[in-house]
Structure 1
Amino acid sequence: MLPPSGGHGEENRPRRGYNRDGRLGARRSRVLDERRNVPTLGGCTGGVPPCVGGVPPCARYTWGARPKQTRRTHTLDTLARSDWRVGEGISGVELGVGRRARRAYGFDEVALVPGAVTISPDDVDIAFRMTGPDGRQLVLPVPLWGSAMDGVVDVDFAIAMGRLGGLAVLNLDGIHTRYEDSAPVVRQIADAGRDEVNQVLKDAYRSPVREDLIVRCIERIKAAGVPCAVSSAPAHAGRRARLVEEAGADVLVVQGTVLTARHESSGYEQLAFDELCGAVSIPIVVGNAVSYGTALELMEQGISGILVGIGPGAACTTRGVLGVGVPQVTATADVAAARDEHEARTGRRVAVITDGGMRIGADVCKAIAAGADGVMVGSPLAGAEESASRGFNWGMATPDPNLPRGTRIHVGVRATLAEIVQGPARVDDGTQNFAGALRSSLGVCGAHDLREFQRVEMVIAPSISSEGKLLQRSQAVGMGT
């Protein structure tokens, strides 16, 4: 461990659980206890400023009136990027002569430290908040988003999720906007054998997307009185934005494997995110990103939210195919640092949504503690009785005709959607009652809301899931499943 910068007494010794560099990502630059000169858990060395009751299980959400803020844009050049190099000054690990890498962390390698004051779970606020370009605020009682995966989200699922206080994203490039009745197509994919499923997927996605079905799906969701979020590939987002806004959608997600504010291509023109955000009044959420600099540039385009994660999902194979990705705790911390810097400079907060890699309630809690304002999950919801495929899931890049980067997986039907989101849980392995787990974690850590929870102390603890759990693991119960 690095020695403390001052003093040699017991109060100045580094806490156990910190790695050598003492860092999780760019965001964790805060001294965790100002009374003790302990090393920070992580941070950008460029001087990043410090980060800044029960909810009924229903579909209540509000677009609260907010005073309009003057949007100020900052180009990458004016941000003095040389002062904000993430990891500058960190020794890292030597890969070879002249090549080093910094350590990154996933959910199984960290843990949260209880607070000095605890709070009743009934008295904490876990609501998700995101401000749109017109200053109105979208508030969700539960900070849980359903991934835009055809095996999970159809119109009926989106309605059910909204009624539980979350938000499910409908994939506009998927099955449900290509067929009048998508259920038989989804069932065909679920029933296909292992050797034939890739071809079945490619055949299913050959039918064209129909704009009349896009409008019809959005209108059905809105007619149920719940918020509507839809997702589009960047290639189609520009021409669809006005269509989905006029149909009544509340949020447009522009999603690809990796999205950047700057993209070079000799074959087509890049989507201009600043123009897209200025063309509609609904929030634009983009993704995915995993790094500080990329996230900061995207935020400067006027987006309202950003998705974090490359390849962590259970049905995604991007990391195996491309070798690209950053573990989710570090990725979330880095993107959250960009959010805090952007907010400090402009007064506008961009919602950070950790996308994928979460299986149990503890993962959801750690994602938000690392800096997320909300989380997006797919496979945990695919196991709901209400899911589109009833227990199957496949990644959005699975049907790619040239380079599939996903696979179909079987998760099985495990519970109702209500049990997964709001409980009560019928099992003890953390796969149900995500909202209850989050409320309890906030209470134990002494946080009244998610922004306070983003300031809790975290430790590097790779033994957190195995310590003392030998019998659970040998009997495949509880944390051993």
Structure 2
Amino acid sequence: MNEISIGMAKTGRRAWALDDINIVPNRRTRSPQDVSLDWRIDAYTFSMPVIGAPMDSVMSPQTAIALGRLGGLGVLNLEGLWTRYENPEPVLEEIAHLENREISPSNTRRLQQLYSEPIKAELITQRLEEVRESGVVVSGSLTPQHTQEFYQTVVDAGVDMFVIRGTTVSAEHVSEHIDPLNLKEFIYELDVPVIVGGAAGYTPALHLMRTGAAAVLAGFGGGSATTTHRALGIRVPMATAIADIAAARRDYLDESGGRYVHVIADGGLGTSGDIVKTLAMGADAVMLGAALARAEEAPGAGWHWGLEAVHPNFPRGHRTQVGTVAPLEEVLIGPGHHTDGTSNLMGGLRHAMASCGYVDLKSFQRVDTTVSPL
């Protein structure tokens, strides 16, 4: 099914991007006021299915707190500037005033220099404590490469939820040169729920679910700030990636005797329409980067970049100008003043669900869809 001949020796599977998908209202409409956007993972309940991406252009301790107070979950990048510098504001200001070009070797070189400052365990503790003191759910993110080095610091600081996020993450990394992170053993030893990814297919997602993860990130993250497709040739269109991983969730639910693993769409979600379509494909929640980088409070001051952009040997991301739209509250819950889906993101989701006759997120995953390739 969906196999297409590329040539005599190779076939490929047809895959779909979010832009190819349309939502079809086939039920009685409902009032937007009747729609609930509540989302629960493990012991934590949120009033919106939104996670702030652990990127320096998106989340600082203060924006993580602000997002938490609005009803979402902010995740700090524990390998970012906030854990490398006691006072990262001047560094962020410098990045915001680099050459006004997206593709710039001199900008990339300077970013690499700024991120060469070592990560400091005491700053990880300090930043997480800042968030904890506010009373919101505390979450931090490490890449698989640094998880074993710093996870104990993260747990000792009192994190509520731990995120392991990379371009692509497997349940067990194989290497002849380093001691790899065994996710199943690692998650088993932790006392906090773990969100892990990215994954973009049924099999790797199923393997991640079997490690005991509370949620799997669907996609490669980064969105407009990465060039993984150009640099590595790796790309899975988001609609297909989410639907495949939702199928893994369904099968794992049967395999495990009822254990539900959440699917979180991560990457390339710039508008409220994108968010609507990810949930229609089977996602339980979304991890937002560029969409929140447009908020007035965002540390990137209208610029957006990820850890991929500062890799010391093989950078594959841009520092992208996304602009500034509105305060964070307006970006998420309105009232909106933009007609392009960049403000009142949850209002857009609420209206879409009501127009299609659904009043909760789980049932909305059954909404009718069509495919119309651009």
Instruction: Give the TM-score taking structure 2 as reference length.
Output: 0.96
Tell me how far 1:449 sits from its aligned partner. Answer: 1.1
SS of match in other structure, 2:310: coil
Aligned residue for 1:235? 145
Structure 1 runs (4+) greater than 2 angstroms displaced: 238-243
Tell me how far 1:242 sits from its aligned partner. Answer: 3.1
Distance in 2, Cα, partners of 1:287 & 1:122: 34
Amino acid of the structure 1 residue aligned with 2:29: T
Deviations 1:181-220 (A, max 9, x none): 0110111112112442111111111111111111111111
Amino acid of the structure 1 residue aligned with 2:19: D
Aligned residue for 1:141? 47
Distance in 1, Cα, partners of 2:361 & 2:152: 32
Distance in 2, Cα, partners of 1:457 & 1:237: 40
Q: Does structure 2 conserve the Cα–Cα contact (< 8 Å) formed by 1:310 and 1:324?
A: no
Aligned residue for 2:6? 95
SS of match in other structure, 2:308: coil
Q: Does structure 1 conserve the Cα–Cα contact (< 8 Å) formed by 2:198 and 2:221?
A: no
Q: Does structure 2 conserve the Cα–Cα contact (< 8 Å) formed by 1:311 and 1:319?
A: no
Distance in 2, Cα, partners of 1:240 & 1:204: 20
Tell me how far 1:243 sits from its aligned partner. Answer: 2.3
Distance in 1, Cα, partners of 2:57 & 2:370: 36
Q: 1:296 aligns with which of 206, 216, 220?
A: 206
Aligned residue for 2:20? 109
Aligned residue for 1:125? 36
Q: Does structure 2 conserve the Cα–Cα contact (< 8 Å) formed by 1:303 and 1:350?
A: yes
Amino acid of the structure 2 residue aligned with 1:324: I
Aligned residue for 1:284? 194
The structure that has the greater radius of gyration is 1
Give runs of aligned pairs for residues 135-174 of structure 1, distance below 5 A. 137-174=43-80
Amino acid of the structure 2 residue aligned with 1:142: M
Q: Does structure 2 conserve the Cα–Cα contact (< 8 Å) formed by 1:115 and 1:444?
A: no
- Given the superposition, is the C-alpha separation of residues 236 and 146 from structure 1 closer, same or farther in structure 2, using an over 3 Å criterion? same
Q: Does structure 1 conserve the Cα–Cα contact (< 8 Å) formed by 2:172 and 2:183?
A: no
Q: 2:154 aligns with which of 226, 240, 244?
A: 244
Amino acid of the structure 2 residue aligned with 1:374: A
Amino acid of the structure 2 residue aligned with 1:184: P
- Given the superposition, is the C-alpha separation of residues 148 and 91 from structure 1 closer, same or farther in structure 2, using an over 3 Å criterion? closer
Give runs of aligned pairs for residues 297-376 of structure 1, distance below 5 A. 297-310=207-220, 313-346=223-256, 347-376=258-287
Aligned residue for 2:180? 270
Give runs of aligned pairs for residues 14-33 of structure 1, distance below 5 A. none
Q: Does structure 1 conserve the Cα–Cα contact (< 8 Å) formed by 2:325 and 2:342?
A: no
SS of match in other structure, 1:397: helix
Query: Are 2:372 and 1:461 equivalent residues in the alignment?
Result: yes
Deviations 1:238-291 (A, max 9, x none): 343332222121111111111011322111121111121112211111110000
Tell me how far 1:91 sits from its aligned partner. Answer: 5.0
Amino acid of the structure 1 residue aligned with 2:145: A
Query: Are 2:109 and 1:203 equivalent residues in the alignment?
Result: no
Q: Does structure 1 conserve the Cα–Cα contact (< 8 Å) formed by 2:215 and 2:262?
A: yes
Q: Identity over aligned residues, as a percent? A: 40
Amino acid of the structure 1 residue aligned with 2:297: E
SS of match in other structure, 1:353: strand
Amino acid of the structure 1 residue aligned with 2:168: V
Aligned residue for 2:352? 441
Gaps of 5+ in 2: none
Amino acid of the structure 2 residue aligned with 1:439: R
Query: Are 2:302 and 1:406 equivalent residues in the alignment?
Result: no
SS of match in other structure, 2:65: helix
Bigger CA drift: 366-375 or 238-247? 238-247
Amino acid of the structure 2 residue aligned with 1:189: I
Distance in 2, Cα, partners of 1:110 & 1:284: 30
Tell me how far 1:383 sits from its aligned partner. Answer: 1.1
Aligned residue for 1:49? none
Tell me how far 1:174 sits from its aligned partner. Answer: 0.7
Bigger CA drift: 205-214 or 239-248? 239-248
Tell me how far 1:308 sits from its aligned partner. Answer: 1.0
Query: Are 2:162 and 1:256 equivalent residues in the alignment?
Result: no
Aligned residue for 1:61? none
Higher share of residues assigned helix:
2
Q: Does structure 2 conserve the Cα–Cα contact (< 8 Å) formed by 1:218 and 1:249?
A: yes
Aligned residue for 2:136? 226
SS of match in other structure, 1:398: helix
Q: Does structure 2 conserve the Cα–Cα contact (< 8 Å) formed by 1:127 and 1:142?
A: yes
Higher relative contact order (CA 8 A, sep 6+): 2
Q: Does structure 2 conserve the Cα–Cα contact (< 8 Å) formed by 1:112 and 1:366?
A: yes
Distance in 2, Cα, partners of 1:116 & 1:158: 37
Instruction: Give the TM-score taking structure 1 as reference length.
Output: 0.75
Q: 2:87 aligns with which of 171, 181, 185?
A: 181
Deviations 1:126-183 (A, max 9, x none): 122212xxxxx22111111111111111111111111111112111111110111011
